[in-house]
Amino acid sequence: MSDILERPAVVDRHDPWKMSSVTIRRVQHESSGVFTIEAEFDDPSFGKKFQFAPGQFNMLYAPGVGEAAISIAGSTEQGWLQHTIRAVGSVTRELESGGVGMQLGLRGPFGRPWPLDWISAHHDAADLVIVAGGIGLAPLRVLIERIAASRNRFGEVHVLLGARSPADLLYCQLHSGWLEQQLAVDVTVDRGPPDWKGHTGVVTLLLERLDLPRPKTTFVMTCGPEVMMRYVAKSAIGRGIPESNIWVTLERNMNCAIGLCGHCQLGPKFICREGPVFRFDEVASWLRVQEY
Ligand SMILES: Cc1cc2nc3c(=O)[nH]c(=O)nc-3n(C[C@H](O)[C@H](O)[C@H](O)COP(=O)(O)OP(=O)(O)OC[C@H]3O[C@@H](n4cnc5c(N)ncnc54)[C@H](O)[C@@H]3O)c2cc1C
Ligand code: FES
């Protein structure tokens, strides 16, 4: 299993300092304070060359304000890159207020992706459990789409989604398509209105209720608040899934995105270069350490 930890960061293939100019062509409101931008490369030849893997991120630069790491949530048929963003600070608020027509800078893609290719190369029809909390669905969306596109390479695929309320659920318009592609989508919210017919409670409850016939060859990939991912891992291990089959993606403040500045350091790991996707046992002992 060791080679899975050595999959390369795709950053090695391009100039990590090169910033491309992109223009926001469409903005989709997702939930309170959360929106998806679709951005087109101003130089179409660069857009044609740009390739990314599920789980990677870009550094988005709001002119005169700064850069923020944002996961790649997908791309459109026109090749426009999609990023789903929560407006929390200076850069993300600037992107929110910029809207359609705003020009911004983009460096990337950075980071090690989800190990989907490795899983399908080493296991026939492995079962997959994708667990997302809130905006944590953004870095999992391309992964879900890639799984759906090669559905016959995998066994049972469960997509478990948790959010604070129904209004906070992301990409609701895509869920029925995922169901049609034989992905078992299940949703829970912390609090629902009286007419809410879905589950209520934390997302780990959905994992605990799952029928998992082949835990040793079941892989879990999760993104959300760190406390949620720790409970997902605990619950998965309790269901017989090996710790080495559990994958998480981590966030820390980033600056260079290529392992030089130390901003994103977690224990001995640089999240930008060795992550953001990690095998759970690589980082479990560091997950209680807060950034500063
Ligand atoms: C690999 C990676 C992928 C990421 N992908 C996404 C993504 O797809 N979408 C997205 O919206 N963000 C994503 N982030 C988080 C994003 O990079 C940070 O939220 C970033 O700091 C925002 O920049 P800012 O200048 O707007 O906020 P800052 O000015 O840097 O921060 C303002 C305040 O917001 C707080 N804050 C920072 N992040 C969060 C948060 N996530 N929730 C609540 N408060 C926060 C900070 O502690 C600070 O107090 C990702 C981060 C990493 C490392
Ligand atoms: S952001 Fe500079 S080392 Fe990771």
Contacts of 14 (CB under 8 A, 6+ apart): none
Are 139 and 239 found together in one domain?
yes
pLDDT of residue 2: 47
pLDDT of residue 238: 94
pLDDT confidence bin for 287, thresholds 50/70/90: confident
CATH code of residue 75: 2.40.30.10
Instruction: Tell me the best of 11, 260, 269, 291 to mutate to test the pocket of ligand 2, counting ligand atoms within 8 Å of each CB and taking the most.
Output: 260
Q: Do the Cβ atoms of 74 and 50 come closer than 8 Å?
A: no
Contacts of 40 (CB under 8 A, 6+ apart): 22, 23, 25, 47, 78, 79, 80
- Using the mean position of ligand 2's atoms as its centre, give its distance from the Cα of residue 262 in Å: 5
- Using the mean position of ligand 2's atoms as its centre, give its distance from the Cα of residue 95 in Å: 22
Ligand 1 pocket, CB under 6 A:
57, 66, 68-71, 84-86, 88-92, 135, 138, 251-254, 276
Of 60, 95, 110, the domain-final residue:
110
Q: Is residue 261 in a domain?
A: no
Structural tokens at position 75: 């791309």
Are 106 and 50 found together in one domain?
yes
The pLDDT of residue 111 is above 70:
yes
Percent of the chain with pLDDT over 90: 85
Of 86, 110, 134, the domain-final residue:
110
Are 151 and 184 found together in one domain?
yes
Are 66 and 159 found together in one domain?
no
Are 125 and 232 found together in one domain?
yes
pLDDT of residue 72: 97
The model's pTM is 0.93
Q: Which atom of ligand 1 is nearest to the CA of 264?
A: 53
Domain membership of residue 68 as a residue range = 2-110
Are 239 and 120 found together in one domain?
yes
Tens of pLDDT, residue by residue over 90-104, are: 999 999 999 999 999
**Cβ-based burial of 169 (10 A; exposed 0-12, middle 13-18, buried ≥19):** buried
Q: Which atom of ligand 2 is nearest to the CA of 262?
A: 3
